Structure 1
């Protein structure tokens, strides 16, 4: 839907509709579009007041959870702690701008070159985590991410290409992965980006559901196998239900060191795989599990290419319920970006990411080592290679990041 299709009258009319009516309109829109929906603009009433580049913050916003594996001497327990990082991040990543009882919204599509920079501090564990994310490609949409805690010697580098289709539900396919590295043990973990379905069009409350089986693979031989079942399945009586087990590849297929089961958006239980003893009960809403406060520069001090500055007028309008202004301001950014791409084509130039580089898939040694004999496919041809942060450059880059060039031209 473009700006010319959205008049103030149409926006006001859409805003006054019931959620079920608006969902019906959305279903009609999605049903009329063939192919990938990833770059399609959703109606303003379904947009979250944040960019898709902010979503990876869910993995960094609990410094004590992210850094815990770096302080654990037992490799078996480290694998469990990495699984914990993965599970605790799912809720805030997928329930964008809401909670499990609130209909989810779609984050703003990131534009090429957009950046999100932030950090979190936890005084109890004396740790900080830093997040850097950049939209390194727009067609197809690819986001590159780096999360680190330098004082603990742990980092996560990831990238994902997103594809979306509609078949009664919105199907979100993520091509890519995250590689987590712990310096002290020279240890790597391969973490997946699971595929997601957006459901609830008939109930009037949209929610994300992960389906399928995924593995977190460690260079120490430990594997966390997660089976997402979801609502309506034989053993999944609630939405977001999952079961997981941690085992070592040297043991029998039926061996289990830890069992983890529950609802990833609410709570789950960790059990000893041998005795069944409950080792931990995790409640996502418990005060001790709340995210730390985000440290981010004030919008007026941000570079023009940083998300909250670039989208400030759109975000402000969405928060204020002014859908007409949100559409108009959003169109300004998107039209300027289209003109940039036209100019680059005319001049024969190519856009260069600021903080990330792409390398050929055959150079991704850690991935190939961890996935040997597993049947996993890197699919680097679909993600324009493997994306990694340029450490030295990222540490020294200064504002203005792109001189006088802004997202508006």
Structure 2
């Protein structure tokens, strides 16, 4: 009996792979001819990852010990080095083409809807509790605001990211936005920009994201890290996922104090001085153990929390049920369109839950870097904020008030149209629950 079933299974798998490749090339044709931001394109179900982009904020603090390490360092030069090392540790899981089990990741995460939230915390014996608050503050164009903080160690990360995708030889993604790591005990800020991403292997269907270009970390204490990225066949020894990072004084950027070189998905060496110096240490990024993010059970989550809102879509993706994916995803998207039409007709704006929009010119953190043109240039030319020069800031009063109300039993109205909370009644929209 195995002689007949095994070939049939192989033929079914081969047929499925051929159909997937055919659908991919049909999608690629639409990408090549599309004019505008590719994030607005609807990707075929087989490309969809069972995760919303809003969850990507969690990559910043998967290693709580590394996240808090700068706060425990007294020397400003070594603090800047620890900030750089923490940043490098955030790249592997976010951008690697395969997961920890060696399975190839799906290319396209779910586009968050306006008002989507993602909350969680990391609990580590030595680092304590690190909390995450993330909210989709804009849908057109897409923008995610986030706040990560460890109160016990007095360190926090705040920022927003606005991805923009376009086709030029391949699929390219720019992450407009910036992050600011703040250390309380030194009243120190580190302004962080993100590298660009391009997709390799689109013609061979061996799809893999690669980092490119340059990103920076500028410290208010007078140090700057410059990270240059390259991929196979390019510069930097021609290896995939390569980078060279230098840490220098902002006043002497051509004189590196440290040089870090390697692959952001595997390992790197640290040299004291320039590139020709001998390595003094090696760091195994692949061996870093991630601390699991703890989130509330689905039944305890707010209807707008990501995993509850997308539950039916994720279940359909994991079941490889293409029809159910389209049906469930379409229900959320259509409900969102209806909400926007109702808001526009009534002259209302969706109330943001945990963040508020401020002008860059009024941001006290950015004002610290006002005299450092080298810091602000990559931030804003790279798209630190939107075209109007606005950023999103965490509103701690709103955050505390929300959880205080929950503790006192003050509940928002029940969402009766969809358990996902996407299709709401008019009175629920006004409350902004």
CA contact (8 A) 2:147 2:159 kept: yes
Q: Does 1:408 align with 2:419?
A: no
The 5 Å alignment of 1:73-112 reads 73-95=74-96, 98=99, 102-112=104-114
Residue equivalent to 1:8: none
Q: Deviations over 1:139-189 (max 9, x none)?
A: 111110101111000001011222111123111112110011000110000
CA contact (8 A) 1:48 1:97 kept: no
Residue equivalent to 1:396: 401
Residue equivalent to 1:225: 226
CA contact (8 A) 1:55 1:92 kept: no
> Which stretch has the larger CA shift, 23-32 or 45-54?
23-32
Cα distance between partner residues in 1 of 2:200 and 2:149: 33
How far residue 401 of structure 1 moved from its aligned partner, in angstroms, is: 7.4
Residue equivalent to 2:336: 337
Gap runs ≥5 in structure 2: 1-12, 416-420, 425-433
Q: Secondary structure at the match of 1:388?
A: strand
Cα distance between partner residues in 2 of 1:102 and 1:195: 21
Residue equivalent to 2:431: none
Q: Does 1:305 align with 2:315?
A: no
How far residue 20 of structure 1 moved from its aligned partner, in angstroms, is: 4.1
Q: Secondary structure at the match of 1:172?
A: strand
How far residue 31 of structure 1 moved from its aligned partner, in angstroms, is: 1.9
Q: Deviations over 1:348-402 (max 9, x none)?
A: 1111111000111111232243252326163644267111111121123145875
The structure that is helix-richer by fraction is 2
Gap runs ≥5 in structure 1: 1-11
Q: Secondary structure at the match of 1:294?
A: coil
Residue equivalent to 1:5: none
Q: Does 1:385 align with 2:390?
A: yes
The 1:186/1:30 distance shift into structure 2, 3 A limit, reads same
Q: Runs in 1 of length 4+ with deviation above 4 angstroms?
A: 12-16, 398-402
Q: Deviations over 1:71-114 (max 9, x none)?
A: 01111111111111211111222247736872542110000000
- Aligned-residue CA RMSD in angstroms? 2.3
CA contact (8 A) 1:20 1:202 kept: no
Q: Secondary structure at the match of 1:111?
A: coil
CA contact (8 A) 1:356 1:389 kept: yes
Q: Does 1:239 align with 2:244?
A: no
Residue equivalent to 1:324: 323
The 1:310/1:191 distance shift into structure 2, 3 A limit, reads same
Cα distance between partner residues in 2 of 1:75 and 1:113: 38
Radius of gyration: which is bigger?
2
Cα distance between partner residues in 2 of 1:264 and 1:342: 44
Residue equivalent to 1:128: 129
Residue equivalent to 2:267: 267
